[in-house]
Amino acid sequence: MNILVDVGNTSIKWQFREGQAVVRTEVGDLNSLEAQLALRDDLSTATAAVSCVRDEAFARELQTLFTAAGCTSVHFVSSVAEFAGLKNAYSAPDTLGVDRWLALLATRARGHTTSLVIDAGTACTIDVMSQGSHVGGYILPGVCLARESLIANTDKIRFDDTVQASLMPGTTTAACVSSGAWLMTYGAVNEIIRRFPEAAVFLTGGSAKELIALGVEGEWVTDLVFEGLDFWLNGA
């Protein structure tokens, strides 16, 4: 059994796989992951691969949890200069977020050599792979962060309304801010897609479905990091 773990800034996702078959996928915290591991009879032959964007202290806590559960083969993946023919654009390769690196590896595993990975979350990260090489990326505020920044840094922009995603001009302060935030992200994403017309486009993250509904053309995916971890395990 392979156990794939994606540790984000606010939550943890994990997936159990038998070969290529996905047995279970869940989202939670360390306690709920520990409970799931306890339900498995024997983890001595299991292998865990972890993508962790949190600090070393958290990684050590996770390592201890796996060891206590009987899983001693635990690998914390990091970004490197090259893997499976994919070259990292960063001059200090390990400073590229491991989740971004694994998402690119996932598109490589799908057979693409030219792709765009758009992760529209708290921050919107966009990474470009061209002819098998990572050529760089972009990081901009996500929609929610852009809205919150306006509220936090201006005196007269105040609202409590929840507004649906739209690119149309707003007729309330909440709608104006929301439309502006969506238009900023939508415009940036579409401009980058325009610059790389041959790229396969993948969208993930909390705002991905809304961007597609607004007209961004690409494939919505939820488990790119897991796919990248599985690819890493098979090629490591």
CATH of the domain at 177: 3.30.420.40
In a domain, 96, yes or no: no
> What residues does 47 pair with on adjacent strands?
2, 73
Q: What is the 3-state secondary structure (H, E, C) of 130-169?
A: ECCEEEEEEEEECHHHHHHHHHHHCCCCCCCCCCCCCCCC
The domain tally of the chain equals: 2
Average pLDDT over residues 173-199: 94
Are residue 68 and residue 123 in the same domain, yes or no? Answer: no
90: burial class by Cβ within 10 Å (0-12, 13-18, 19+)? middle
In a domain, 49, yes or no: yes
Catalytic residue, from 29, 41, 94, 99: name it: 99
pTM for this predicted structure: 0.91
At which of 51, 76, 101 does a domain end? Answer: 76
| pLDDT confidence band for 161 (50 / 70 / 90) | low
Helix (H) or strand (E) holding 45: none
In a domain, 105, yes or no: no
234: burial class by Cβ within 10 Å (0-12, 13-18, 19+)? exposed
Helix (H) or strand (E) holding 82: strand 82-83
pLDDT over 90 at 183, yes or no: yes
Q: Determine the structural domain holding residue 128 and report its residue range.
A: 114-143+169-226
Are residue 68 and residue 128 in the same domain, yes or no? Answer: no
Q: Residue 219, Cβ neighbours under 10 Å: how many?
A: 12
127 is catalytic: no
In a domain, 13, yes or no: yes
Residue 77 has a pLDDT of 97
Whole-number mean pLDDT of the chain? 92
Residue 73 has a pLDDT of 94
In a domain, 192, yes or no: yes
In a domain, 150, yes or no: no
At which of 76, 104, 134 does a domain end? Answer: 76
Distance between CA atoms of residues 44 and 71, nearest Å: 5
pLDDT digits (tens, 9 = 90+) for 102-152: 999 999 999 999 999 999 988 999 999 999 999 999 999 998 888 788 777
Tokens 């915290």 belong to residue: 29
In a domain, 153, yes or no: no
Ramachandran angles phi, psi of 52, nearest 5°: -130, 120
